[in-house]
Structure 1
Amino acid sequence: MDLVVKTLEGKDAGTLSVSDAIFGLEPREDLIARMVRYQLAKKRQGTHQTKTRAEISRTGKKMYKQKGTGRARHHSARAPQFRGGGRAHGPVTRSHAHDLPKKIRALALRHALSAKAKSETLIVLDNLVAAEAKTKVLVNAFAGLGLNNALFIGGAELDRNFKLAAQNIPNVDVLPVQGINVYDILRRNTLVLSKAAVEALEERFK
């Protein structure tokens, strides 16, 4: 399939032929959802924890004698049923990460790219280069392209001026092609790829 290439100023810069195996698939929501769940699970810190009765700093002395009071038989005040006692079956520090086959991860990325291409929210720019690190200039350029919520994927090395100018713009992310991922693609309305990024993706999935 062919994609129209534009410049940062919004002018046409020809077309680019891309592989249907990367940008022309019929998107599968189940694969994309599995990948998003995998990414978000890996991002979780898993540091939530409550204290059990063994960790509570409180006396372990028997509360009152076993018999003759007419009350229930209790021992330690650290038991979960008492105020100030430990928590029963509370959360513990753990990793939420789970495995997902490498082939499934690669396929999910291709389906995410195809989903953007199918919904016509994929733009290819000839390069992501700014003459100066001026946020205002870049905001005007994005407005001309109709971009207010976008993920920009550059080549292996990002242009320093473009990166600095874009980092202060809300709802705009800039990543090198090595950092492209399904979650970031889906969380922004528009995906913007440089020609270098497209070539790198073609090489990666060849």
Structure 2
Amino acid sequence: MTSEKRKERADPPQPPDPKPKKPRQTDPPRPNPSLLEPHEAIIAELKTKYNVLPASVISSTQIRQRVAAATGHLLSGANPVVLLHARPAEVCKLITIAEQSKRVLKEEGRPCFQYNQLFDLPPETKKPDIVEKTVLETDAHDSDDDDDFEVMETRFEKAVFPQTVRTMKSMRVFLSTMAIPEIKAKSNVTVQTSEVKVKKHGQGGG
């Protein structure tokens, strides 16, 4: 009995860890800065006078959520402006969001001014030419004279005929409950308005 009691005293139960390990939390995904980059200049210009809400439209964007965010901003606050922007593949979804947002504003008896404008997308990074890189890294002793001539010819063509960067355009839409002359005065802008006529009291026969 004495030996058993000694063993029990030698191995007392360990108290629970006062600082339990917290589950590892992953950082939320950060927005791609390249999506907002083409609009930074116009946002900085408008922010001196208007309350601008930029909203990107990508493949995973939920239309209802984006419409709710846009109309919520337009129906609250002073001088609200919503900037919807998308890449060419998502322009149709952008137009759907704009149309549904205007419908909500109309139901609320509020006018809506829509400004459509084309903008330049940032140029994509060109991938290196794997074939040319392989030829250049080949040992000179293992290559023929014809191969060396082709490499030099390629270098000469690039020097004489530099590669041109191809710019692609997409569309952005500004929505507001008021006219924005700063946007209307810019190039490549089309304007759509849906003003609501408010009936004055006392009008009508009787």
TM-score by length of 2: 0.26
Higher share of residues assigned strand: 2
TM-score by length of 1: 0.26
**Max radius of gyration: which structure?**
2
Higher share of residues assigned helix: 2
